Amino acid sequence: MNPYKTKSSRIVWSCPWYSVRQDEIITPDGRPGIYNTVETTDAVWIVPVTPEGQIVMIYNYRYTVDDWCWEVPAGSVKPGQTVEEAAREELLEEVGGTAVSLQKIGQFYTANGFCNEVGHYFLATGVTLGATNHESTEVMDIRPLPIDEALRMARAGEISDGTAVLALLLSESTLRDISVSFASP
Amino acid sequence: MNPYKTKSSRIVWSCPWYSVRQDEIITPDGRPGIYNTVETTDAVWIVPVTPEGQIVMIYNYRYTVDDWCWEVPAGSVKPGQTVEEAAREELLEEVGGTAVSLQKIGQFYTANGFCNEVGHYFLATGVTLGATNHESTEVMDIRPLPIDEALRMARAGEISDGTAVLALLLSESTLRDISVSFASP
């Protein structure tokens, strides 16, 4: 049940990637107010694991924070796509990856304090790499890392993108099982 | 090194909580473009653990997503505050909590694809509860949960707020150690 009353709703700013919706509301304690929501489409994050037991990480410049960030492949769900189709498309575009298996590992609001984005998280296994198809606003290196090293970095604070750390920690136990299968006897 | 060139920068929309900065840029491959960034202050998330071995969770209505969400206490860093001061203030305001110990467990960009928010994550132990001081736009129940139950919910997909799940998984091993100390002999 929504404890707020919405009196009006309008888009006050927009760009091709997101918009700001401004609602006149009555708060649960009866006072008039304004609530602004950044509206955007759903998004996908993918932890890609190769048959050799490596996680295909990305080292990515993010203009928003003026910083280089370790990340996993991610992107928006386009109109008409299922989240699985979007995950496979981003995997292909960003790292040239094709997965044998795609397993959903979670679904979360990215930043529910101000934004309506829903993130769908996947573990992709049997990932083989080919050519990429980056957008001109994407500046990234593809950097496969051993599973244990990626998990160490996630735990050690060496990965600054919270969504990438969430993706890695969600798949941690499955990843450790895969990693063990590559350990020397 | 920033591989983009910024030609101009202006605020195109703002509210008291965040604003949108629009930059005219030259992309790394030499093309003119526009980059929009949602600018906001740093934020804090706190995993509060009581001396009885419970995590003080919040069950919170989020207008942005029209949904009730399990969360941990969180909020913005105010001007002049250290992140530790902000964490102690949010803990007090949202759940009436006072912590014996506050340990930083991580620092992450919340949504670096479109926003510059930096989240500072803390584990608060020895937390005792008193009166709260909620803002009128906050609709929340305080719901302490046993550590193992909160971690189970985080792993099972029963917590929809990605930042809360990130906070819980980051502190997982410390939390399990605390939980074990409460197990029957």
CB A96 within 8 A of CB A129: yes
Cβ–Cβ gap B63/A38 under 8 Å: no
CB A38 within 8 A of CB A112: no
| pLDDT tens string B46-68 | 999 999 999 999 999 999 999 99
| pLDDT tens string A114-168 | 999 999 999 999 999 987 777 666 678 999 999 999 999 999 999 999 999 999 9
Helices (H), chain B: 83-95, 147-156, 162-170, 172-180
pLDDT digits (tens), chain A, 185 positions: 789 999 999 999 999 999 999 999 999 889 999 999 999 999 999 999 999 999 999 999 999 999 999 999 999 999 999 999 999 999 999 999 999 999 999 999 999 999 999 999 999 999 999 877 776 666 789 999 999 999 999 999 999 999 999 999 999 999 988 888 876 55
| Number of neighbours of residue A33 by Cβ within 10 angstroms | 14
Cβ–Cβ gap B29/A136 under 8 Å: yes
Residue ranges of domains in chain A: 5-39, 43-180
Q: How far is CA A9 from CA A6, A30, B46, B169, in A?
A: 7, 18, 33, 37
Mean pLDDT of B96-110: 97
B158 touches chain A (CB under 8 A): no
The C-alpha angle with vertex B66 and arms to B65 and B71, in degrees rounded to 5, equals 70
| pLDDT tens string B141-179 | 999 999 999 999 999 999 999 999 999 999 999 998 888
A81 touches chain B (CB under 8 A): no
The amino acid occupying position B169 is L
Largest CA distance in chain B: 67
Q: How far is CA B89 from CA B22, B77, B97, B100, in A?
A: 32, 9, 9, 14
Q: Cα B143 vs. chain centroid, distance in angstroms? A: 17
Could you tell me the fold of the domain covering B43-180? Nucleoside Triphosphate Pyrophosphohydrolase (3.90.79)
Nearest CA in chain B to A160: B108
Tokens representing A177 are 């099982």
Q: Cα B44 vs. chain centroid, distance in angstroms? A: 5
Nearest CA in chain A to B76: A113
Q: What is the ipTM of this complex?
A: 0.95
Which of B14, B64, B115 has the most A C-beta neighbours within 10 Å, making it the best mutation to test the interface with A?
A: B64
User: Can you name the residues that pair with A10 across neighbouring β-strands?
Assistant: A22
Residues 121-150 of B with CB under 8 A from A: 136-137, 139
